[in-house]
Amino acid sequence: MSEHAGRLREALASEKPLIAPGCYDALTALLIEQAGFSCAYLSGASVAFTRLGRPDLGLTTLSEVADTVGNIRDRISIPLIADGDNGFGNALNVQRTVRLLEKQGASAIQLEDQTAPKRCGHLDGKSLISSTEMCGKIKAALDARQSDETVIVARTDAVAVTGLDDALERAAAYVDAGADVLFVESPGSREQLGAIGTAFGARVPLLANMVEGGKTPLLPAEELGQMGYRVVIFPGAMVRVLSLAGAQYLEVLRRDGTTAGYLDRMNDFAAINQLIGTDALLHSASRYDD
């Protein structure tokens, strides 16, 4: 039984919504933990952006995601929700995905009802598998997990494809199939967010996805909590912030030929070593010196 998954379940039972900032590697996950957040979200899109320099169009592989999960779990102790896309295949692939991500340290594994290749939930042109097939995938995931504490998150992308009514029908079926958390992707208005909360907020923990510039309005976690949401993720904000900061730094370096004028906007050598715990690790290593 994983302690971090148990802590996630305790947080899901709270009336206060859990904020889970998005990360894509061990450093960004460490920043989240050091900032005082009690959960991190591994964004599949951000892994594609940073590891491949490509869009979220189903290009990443299970092994790449699992490797990232393992690196993050080796560095942080807070719960980690891992984006498992569509399970990378059929129900048998879902079982391998769940076993591997759980083994690598995921506290929760998110699975969606898109066809392969999938794409970002806030891009147009998505297509769906049948509700029956997705229910089979959820049941396969539940059977595959080694610990009952590991959380299975079921996501439907139906709102943007077939409409809210179908999304609500699919969501109800996914809850009946045993999903621990429900994620209805891309509601297009405050009213749709509220309708989802009214339909399921008292039945199962709900997850809300805040994507800057996406299809869903950006609402404060407190307001979403009042609608019935128990988890609010900000999956891509980290990579958006750091990519803009990086571009601005490079513009200054190209212009000035030095970083001297940019020092107030970066961690210097000492600060970055303090952040990542260099002295503590060297002290630990010294115990094994002859």
Spans of all domains in the chain: 3-237, 243-286
For 169, other C-beta atoms within 10 Å of its C-beta total 14
CATH (residue range 3-237)? 3.20.20.60
Q: What are the pLDDT digits (tens) for 117-175?
A: 998 989 888 999 999 999 999 999 999 999 999 999 999 999 999 999 999 999 999 99
- Helix or strand holding residue 188 (H, E): none
Candidates 219, 175, 172, 231; CA nearest to 194 is 219
The 3-state DSSP class for residue 165 equals helix
**How confident is the model over 34-58, as pLDDT tens digits?**
999 999 999 999 999 999 999 999 9
In 3-state terms, what secondary structure has residue 20?
strand
What tens digit of pLDDT does each residue of 220-241 get? Answer: 999 999 999 999 999 999 999 9
**Cα(201)–Cα(182) distance, rounded to whole angstroms?**
9
pTM of the model: 0.96
Query: SS3 for 52-93, per residue?
Result: HCCCCCCCCCHHHHHHHHHHHHCCCCCCEEEECCCCCCCHHH
What's the average model confidence in pLDDT over 93-116? 97
Question: Which 3 state secondary structure label does DSSP give 215?
Answer: coil
